[in-house]
Amino acid sequence: MAELDRLFQAAKTAMEKAHAKYSDFPVGAAILTKDGKIYSGANIEVISFPEGWCAETTAISHYVMAGGGEITDICVIAEKKDICTPCGGCRQRLAEFAPSDAKVHLCTMDGIVETITMADLLPHGFESDALIKAN
């Protein structure tokens, strides 16, 4: 359980660094790998809204740039909304790197309140294997 506490704290700390001056809706996300590494990110908005990066996209970027690993858990938190799920695009981005049994933890400001799997979050997402077989 200590690792989930660390994951929640990483997502919350990332959310506090969000650059959300246009939506005023800070979000944080954190990814935990099997080897215990945590990669976090916050949403980063730019003036040509809605361009920018979601928190999950930023966390995935840090994860990829650091060499990745097997994702076991993902945590998402939003300051102004209890149980904020990843947007549709981020669901697919997460599914690209996380196995279907990876746990997605949805949070309030106080901690994790609901846990689902990637398969539950995105039941019919695109699978890279289908594209590889098509070629």
In the annotated binding site for Zn(2+), the residues are 54, 87, 90
Residue whose entry in the numeric block shows the structure tokens 């049994």 = 101
96/60 Cα distance (integer angstroms)? 10
Catalytic residue among 56, 70, 79, 127: 56
**Is residue 70 among the annotated active site residues?**
no
Contact 43, 18 (CB under 8 A): yes
* Residues tagged in the binding site annotation: 54, 87, 90
Preceding omega of 50 cis (within 30 degrees of 0): yes
> Which has the closest alpha carbon to 41: 77, 80, 15, 9?
15
12/27 Cα distance (integer angstroms)? 8
53/99 Cα distance (integer angstroms)? 22
DSSP 3-state percent helix, strand, coil across the chain (nearest 5):
35, 30, 35
Residue numbers annotated as active site: 56
